[in-house]
Structure 1
Amino acid sequence: MIPKNKPELHRRDVLKDVAAASLASAMVPFGFHAQAQDLGPASQTPAPTANPLIQEENAKVGAKDWQLTRVRLDKTGGLRSPPIEGYCSKQSVQAGEQLEFFVSTDPIQRFKIEIFRTGYYSGRGARLMTTLGPFEGRPQKLPEVGDKRIRECEWAASASLTIPDDWPSGVYLGRLTTESDSTGAGYWQNYTVFIVRDERPADILLQCSDNTWQAYNQWPDGDSLYTHPKGGQGPWGDVSFDRPYGKYPQIFENPQTFGSGEWLCFEFPLAYWLEKHGYDVTYCSNSDMVTPERGLKCKAFISNGHDEYWDIRQYESVVKLRDAGVNLLFLTGNAVCWVSPYRNSQKDIPKRILFRGGPYGGEHRWAELREQEHGPFPHRGPDEGYLIGARNVEPVNGGGDWVCTNPDHWIFEGTGMQRGEVIPGLIGWEYHGDPPVDIEGLEIVAEGTALQGGINPQRWASTIYPGPKGNFVFNASTIWWCQDLASPPGHWLPWSHWSRPHGPDDRVQRITHNLLRRALA
C-alpha cells in the first residue's frame, strides 16, 4: 500500500483448459523436521495450482552429464578460458525466434554445443534438449578496450538455433565442448546461458538478475563495472552483453560459473525447488521487464538472488504490477540499488549495454551517501524502500543469522519458530534494512545485525506490507534466501564475511510455501 503522505510511485491460455492437479496429494503433511527434508506445503492450507506444463516437463528424463568437467584458465588467477568460450546474441528469446552463438576456440578445433534446460528433473537438475554441431572453431579477436572501458566483441556467429515451439520457458545452458586438442590434452568446456520466455498467463514470473551478472562480469581481464581505473563505482564504465561470462570473481572459486553468469551460484536453487513442487512458473530476463505487460499476466513476481541493477523502466513496471494487484516477492538482497540504463550495441541491437547511472533512494540519506562516496551521477532513482519495504544500507555487505521477531505472523505458520529463533547464516552477503516507517501496514517479521568482515555492524530487516488490492510485498532481505530452499547439482554453497548459509532448511521452505500459497490463492 502506498503511504498516504507520499506521491504515487512510478510504477493464464496455454494448458489452462487442462484440469490442474493439486500438489497436496503428492506431498507429505508439513511439520518441523530435520533440515535436509523438504516436505512441501501444509495439508491444512490451500495448495497452489500445479501446472501440467511444468509437471510434464520435469517428468522427462534428466541428464546424467550436464555440468562442466574440464575447464582451463588462461593464467593463474585468470577469469577466462581461451580453449573455448562464447556468448549468445540475446539475453532472452521466445519460441520461433532465432538465437545465435558466438564461439571462439584457441587453438583451431572442432566443438559441439549441447543445450540443456535447467529444472528439477527427478533431482538431476537439467535435461538435454538438443545437440548442435560439430562445428569448426577458430580463435576470434579479443576486443580492444573501448570508450568507458567497454569490452564489446564483434565475433562472427558460429551457430544458430530457432527455438522450437515445444521448449518451455526456463533458463538454458549451452555447454560448449571441444574435441581433443592437437596436443592430446583432451577436451575443454565452457557454458553459454540464455532464457526462453513465453507470453502465457502464469502464476509466478521469476525474473533472472542478469543485469547484475553482467555488471560483475570481468571477462576478459578484470573488466567490469567495479574495476575502472577511476574507481569501482561511478558512471564512467560501460559493460556489454556481447562477450562471454568469465569465472565469477567473488565469494568462491567455482568452475561451474564459467559462462553461466550468476545463475548456478545464486539463483538456480529457487527454480529447482519451484519446479520440484510443480509450481506454475515462467521466466524472464531483467531486460524483459522494461514494460509491465509480461508481469501483469502473472499472480506473483519474484526478484531472485543478487538483483542489484535495474533500468528505471523496470522499477516503473514493477510498481505497476504491485498497484494492479500482483504479489511481489523480493527473495533477494541489495535489490534495486543502481539505476542502470540500457543502450544499444554498436550493431544497434537494443538492451545490450548498461552502466551505473546513479543510485536509487530519491532524497534518502543512503542515496546521498553513495553520491558523496562515488561522485555525481547522471541519474537518480526513486526511494527503493517504498517498493521493496526496506532499503539498501551502508555497509550493504556482511553476514549473519536470520532472526524471527514476529512468530505470530502468517508467514511462519507451521514452522514452529519462536521469537528470537535463528536460521543460521542466512543473511548475506548483502541485504536490506531501514524500512520506511510510513508505509501503511508494514510489518517487520525478522531483523538483526550483520557484520561486514566479521567486524562492522549493520541492521537488516525482513518486511512485508499490503498492496492496494489484497496483494502483498515481501522482502526476505538476503541474497542467500534460495540457498536454504534446495541444493541442486551444479550448485555450491557460497560464503562471505566470515558467515555462510547452511543449505536446505525446512523453515525457509515452509515460509516460502506459505508466501506462495497466499500469493496464488
Structure 2
Amino acid sequence: MDRESSGRRWESGTLAHGVSDPFGQGPLPWLRSPDHYFEGTEDPIPWYVSADAPGQLPLPAAPPPLVGTPRNSDDVVQQIKGFAAAGAVHPGGAVDLRVTVNPPRDFRVDVYRIGHYAGAGARHMTASPLIPGLRQPAPLVAGRTVSCHHWWHSWRLQVPAHWAPGAYVAVLTTADQRNRSHVPFTVRDPRTDGPGPELLLVLPDVTWQAYNLFPEDGHSGASLYHCWDEHGGLLGESATAVTVSFDRPHAGAGLPLHVGHAYDFIRWAERYGYPLAYATATDLHAGLVEPSRHRALVFPGHDEYWSEPMRRSAERARDGGTSLLFLSANALYWRVELGPSAAGEPNRLLHCRKRQRVLPGSPAAGLPGAASALWRDAGEPEQHLLGIQYAGRVAQPVPLVVGNTWHWLWAGTGLADGDRVPGLVAGEADRYFPKVALPTSTERVLLAHSPYQDDLGRPRYQETSLYRAPSGAYVFAAGTFAWSPALDRPGHTDERIQRATANLLDRVCKDG
C-alpha cells in the first residue's frame, strides 16, 4: 500500500491500518473475550469473532478454562511478548521461542494448528510446562531498525515428526492468567523432492514484517510505514525505517496484520479436503520451494513485498507449468532485499527504501537509478506476472460486478453478467492497465469489472483476471482484499465465491 499516514495517539499505529480493513483482521476462533484491541482506548476495535458466529463453535479439545480472562499484552508494558527464532520448520525440527515477561512471572505456551476441525477453526496440539519468565533486555535500535535477536531463548518446541505441516500459533499466557500474546510460525513439508501435495500455500511473512510496528510504544518502534517523533506522534513513509527485523514480536496482540486472510483460506480448503503443503515467502526467497512438485502455488493474503528471488521463482513456476493463484490484491508491489541479522542468521532483515533517499551501498538502496523501490520503477510492473496490477485503496466496500459468466470459473454459481456480489471489493483493488504489457498467454479473461471510489472520492474500478501461460499454467488474480474472507470469515462468506474458488482449484489440480 502506498500512502503517508499520521495519527495523534501512539495507539494508532496498527490501528490506522486495522480500521482500513473491513474484516477486523484475522480473529482466532478459540480466543473470544470482551477485550478492546488496545487497553484504555475510547474506541474498541473488534478482534475476536462472536461465540455464536456460524461455523465458529468453541473448541471442544481446548485445555481447561483459565480463571478469569487474560488480556492481550500491549507494547508499552510488554506484559508478555515473544517471537520465533525461525519462522518455518519441518516436522521433527524445533521452534525456539524468545519471550519477555514484565514483571517476571511464570508462563505457559499452548500450541494450536489452524484448520477447519469441524468448525472449531484450530486444534490444540500441545502445551508447555510452566516456564520461568524473565524481563528481556530492551530491544536494540539502530537508526530506525528495531531487533530483539539478543533475547535469551525461553522455550524450545520440539515439533513431533507426526505433526502435519500447517500454520501454527503459539499462545503465550502468564501463570496468573492476566496477560497473553501470540507467536505465529509455519511447519512446512519435510520433503523437497518427488511429488508433493497439489497445492502449496505460501504465507506472506515478508509482507507481515513490513507492517510490523513493534514496539508500538510511542517511542522506538518502526515499520516500513510508520515511526514515532519525539512527541509520540506517527510519522509516515518519508521518515520511517528502510530496514526492519524478523527478530521481534508482532505489535499488539502478536499476530500479523492481514494474517486472517490466510487463515480464512486454510479453514475453507482443509474443510473440503484440498491437499495443502505449506511454506513462507522467505522460503520462496531462499530457494526452499520446488514449484514443480505442486500443481499450483497459492498466495492467500496480502502479499505486497517481493524480492527478486521470489519473483524469479514464481516466474519459473509459471513457465514450468505450475499455476499461480493470488487471492488478494496489491501483490508484488515493492521490490525488497533480504539480508542476514547482526548475529549472522540469513534472511532476518528486510530492506526497502520505498521512496526515501539512502546512502549508496545501503542494503535498502535497490536498483541504481530507480525512482523508488517499486517493481514498476525497476521496469517490471506487476502486470507482467499477474495480468493486472495495483490500482488503489477502496474507501468503502462495494459489490464485485461479475462478467464473462460463461467462463468455467463461474460455473454453478448462478451468476449472470452484471450481477453484484455485495462487499467483495474492499481494502485495496487491482485492475488491468492498458498501457502496460501483458504476459504471454494462450487465453485470457477478465472476470469482474467493478466501480468504486478511492479515498479522495475519485471514481476507480477493480478487475479480476485469469490467464493461461503457454506452459499450461493458470495465473489467477482476485484483485481485491475480500476474496479470501468470503471463503470462511463469519459475516463475509459468500457461497458463489466459495464455488468459484472450488472451480479454480479443481481446474488447476486437474489441468495445471
TM-score for both structures, normalised by structure 2: 0.76
Identity of aligned residues (%): 30
Corresponding residue for 2:497? 508
Which residue among 275, 279, 283 is the counterpart of 1:280?
Answer: 275
Structure-2 separation of matches of 1:480 and 1:327: 21
Shift of 1:292: 6.8
Shift of 1:415: 0.6
Stretch deviating more after TM superposition (268-277 or 421-430): 421-430
Specify whether residues 152 and 37 from structure 1 end up closer, same or farther in structure 2 by C-alpha distance, changes over 3 A only: closer
Shift of 1:265: 2.7
Shift of 1:403: 1.0
Shift of 1:245: 0.6
Which residue among 372, 380, 383 is the counterpart of 2:381?
Answer: 383
Shift of 1:481: 0.7
Matched, 1:147 2:143: yes
| SS of equivalent to 1:150 | strand
Specify whether residues 70 and 81 from structure 1 end up closer, same or farther in structure 2 by C-alpha distance, changes over 3 A only: farther
Structure-2 separation of matches of 1:196 and 1:81: 31
Corresponding residue for 1:209? 204
Corresponding residue for 2:222? 223
How many residues matched? 420
After TM superposition, list the pairs within 5 Å mapping 1:125-274 onto structure 2.
125-180=121-176, 186-200=177-191, 201-221=196-216, 222-228=221-227, 231-232=236-237, 237-247=242-252, 258-262=253-257, 264-274=259-269
Which residue among 446, 449, 457 is the counterpart of 1:447?
Answer: 449
User: For residues 250-284 of structure 1, what are the alpha-carbon distances to aligned partners after superposition, in whole Å with 9 as ceiling and x for unaligned?
Assistant: xxxxxxxx112136532211000000001101111
Contact 2:394 2:426 in 1 (8 A): no
Contact 1:63 1:124 in 2 (8 A): no
| SS of equivalent to 1:289 | helix
Corresponding residue for 1:428? 426
* Structure 2: runs of 5+ lacking an equivalent: 1-52, 230-234, 356-366
Structure-2 separation of matches of 1:467 and 1:66: 52
User: For residues 408-436 of structure 1, what are the alpha-carbon distances to aligned partners after superposition, in whole Å with 9 as ceiling and x for unaligned?
Assistant: 11100001101111111111201211245
* Structure 1: runs of 5+ lacking an equivalent: 1-35, 39-59, 181-185, 248-257, 360-370, 489-501
Contact 2:211 2:225 in 1 (8 A): yes
Shift of 1:171: 0.7
TM-score for both structures, normalised by structure 1: 0.75
Structure-2 separation of matches of 1:215 and 1:62: 35
| SS of equivalent to 2:316 | helix
Structure-1 separation of matches of 2:291 and 2:448: 28
Corresponding residue for 2:485? 483
Specify whether residues 109 and 37 from structure 1 end up closer, same or farther in structure 2 by C-alpha distance, changes over 3 A only: closer
User: For residues 54-110 of structure 1, what are the alpha-carbon distances to aligned partners after superposition, in whole Å with 9 as ceiling and x for unaligned?
Assistant: xxxxxx975378999522454xxxx56611110000111112222210011111110
The letter of the residue matching 1:63 is: A
After TM superposition, list the pairs within 5 Å mapping 1:280-429 onto structure 2.
280-290=275-285, 291=287, 293-357=289-353, 376-377=372-373, 380=378, 382-394=380-392, 399-429=397-427
| SS of equivalent to 1:393 | strand
Structure-1 separation of matches of 2:115 and 2:61: 9
Shift of 1:136: 0.6
Structure-1 separation of matches of 2:162 and 2:395: 42
Structure-2 separation of matches of 1:233 and 1:303: 29
Higher relative contact order (CA 8 A, sep 6+): 1
The letter of the residue matching 2:468 is: P
Specify whether residues 454 and 414 from structure 1 end up closer, same or farther in structure 2 by C-alpha distance, changes over 3 A only: farther
Shift of 1:520: 0.6
Structure-1 separation of matches of 2:80 and 2:148: 18
The letter of the residue matching 1:190 is: S
Structure-2 separation of matches of 1:64 and 1:280: 28
Contact 2:393 2:455 in 1 (8 A): no
RMSD of Structure 2 on Structure 1 (CA): 2.8
The letter of the residue matching 2:350 is: L
Corresponding residue for 1:104? 100
Contact 1:357 1:378 in 2 (8 A): no
The letter of the residue matching 1:477 is: G
The letter of the residue matching 1:227 is: H
Structure-2 separation of matches of 1:112 and 1:70: 13
| SS of equivalent to 2:172 | strand
Corresponding residue for 2:507? 518
Matched, 1:90 2:79: no
Stretch deviating more after TM superposition (411-420 or 434-443): 434-443
Corresponding residue for 1:71? 71
